[in-house]
């Protein structure tokens, strides 16, 4: 009796849950199939050094070309990939593919986003080493972007892994800085080479005193630590002027270029006028 009651109860309460589980299973199957059938694509967003305005590198950003939904942004599938562990093989694919594609761009650095889950569960240092060996991409032109989420758990292991990666000659970048569990203590303990100011602060520059103060503090902090600062999400000349005036090291954003397809990067680099930290009509658009 207890058993049937239990089952009945479950059935009664869990109809919505079951549907959600089904949808999730379906999404997971689709994501797995996406990896197996090459539905992921890589876009590259130029990074511009300040104040000179030269293109110094690109950040690689994943997209999913879904057979029905079309081009899907990472915000719609990265969490599921993390929850299912699929981020490990997906992240590995990103690293290998980006390193082999970027090998043909002389002098450009390549920034690759690495999920905290991939960092903990994958053999990230070995994956990076293999991707470099396989592609011939120079380690000193590779940057891994990680978020503050990485610093919460098991600092000892994290520190070892970061150091192992740095020994390869690869740089470590703190992405979305200021949005997470920032603690200044972490910055002393962990060997970061660059701080990326989150685009939510850049968006509000000149309009919100808090954003100004935070941006100012982060740029200053990077200078004190003798590392580079990067502002992401730059969309206007006003924001750019503000950042240049504060001594920010680099910028990226729609003002210069949207994320570009692999083949558009060459054209963009060729057409870009160095010395002018400004793009014509808000940058070249693509994809």
Chain positions contacting ligand C2E, by CB under 6 A:
45, 61-62, 73-75, 78, 91, 94, 113-115, 145, 175-176, 199, 232-235, 253-254, 259
Site for Mg ion in 229-268 (CB under 5 A): 232
Token representation of residue 173: 């970048």
> Does position 148 bind Mg ion by CB under 5 A?
no
**Contact (CB, 8 A) for 257 and 45:** yes
Smallest separation, CB 40 to ligand C2E (Å):
8
> Which of the listed partners (Mg ion, ligand C2E, none) does 259 bind, with a CB threshold of 5 to 8 Å by partner kind?
ligand C2E
Nearer to ligand C2E, 14 or 134 (CB): 134
Nearer to ligand C2E, 61 or 125 (CB): 61
> Does position 47 bind Mg ion by CB under 5 A?
no
β-pair partners for 230: 196, 250
Instruction: Please enumerate in sequence order all residues whose Cβ is within 8 A of that of 228, keeping only pairs 6 or more positions apart, or say none.
Output: 193, 194, 195, 222, 249, 250
Smallest separation, CB 17 to ligand C2E (Å):
28
Smallest separation, CB 207 to ligand C2E (Å):
15
- Alpha carbon dihedral 206, 207, 213, 214, in 10-degree steps, equals -100
Tell me how far apart the 2 most distant CA atoms of the chain are, in Å. Answer: 80
**Contact (CB, 8 A) for 41 and 66:** no
Q: Which residues would be at the binding site for Mg ion (CB under 5 A)?
A: 113, 145, 175-176, 232
């Amino acid at each position: 009796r207890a058993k049937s009651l239990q089952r009945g109860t479950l059935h009664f309460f869990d109809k919505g849950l079951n549907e959600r589980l089904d949808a999730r299973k379906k999404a997971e199957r689709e994501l797995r199939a996406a990896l197996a059938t090459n539905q992921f694509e890589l876009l590259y967003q130029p990074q511009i050094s300040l104040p000179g305005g030269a293109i110094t590198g690109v950040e690689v950003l994943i997209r999913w070309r879904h057979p029905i939904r079309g081009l899907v942004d990472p915000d719609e599938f990265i969490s599921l990939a993390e929850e299912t562990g699929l981020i490990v093989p997906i992240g590995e694919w990103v690293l290998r593919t980006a390193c082999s594609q970027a090998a043909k761009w002389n002098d450009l650095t390549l920034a690759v986003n690495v999920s905290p889950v991939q960092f903990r569960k994958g053999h990230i240092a070995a994956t990076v080493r293999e991707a470099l060996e396989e592609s011939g991409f120079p380690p000193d032109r590779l940057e891994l972007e990680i978020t503050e989420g990485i610093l919460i758990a098991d600092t000892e292991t994290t520190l070892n892994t970061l150091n192992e990666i740095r020994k390869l000659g690869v740089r470590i970048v703190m992405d979305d800085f200021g949005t997470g569990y920032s603690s200044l203590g972490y910055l002393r303990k962990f060997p970061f080479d660059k701080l990326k100011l989150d685009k939510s602060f850049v968006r509000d520059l000149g309009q919100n005193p808090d954003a100004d103060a935070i941006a100012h503090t982060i740029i200053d902090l990077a200078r004190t630590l003798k590392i580079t600062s990067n502002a992401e999400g730059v969309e206007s000349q006003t924001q750019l002027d503000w950042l240049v005036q504060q001594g920010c090291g680099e910028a990226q954003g729609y003002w210069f270029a949207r994320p570009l397809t692999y083949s558009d990067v060459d054209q963009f680099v060729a057409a870009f006028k160095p010395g002018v930290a400004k793009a014509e009509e808000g940058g070249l658009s693509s994809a």
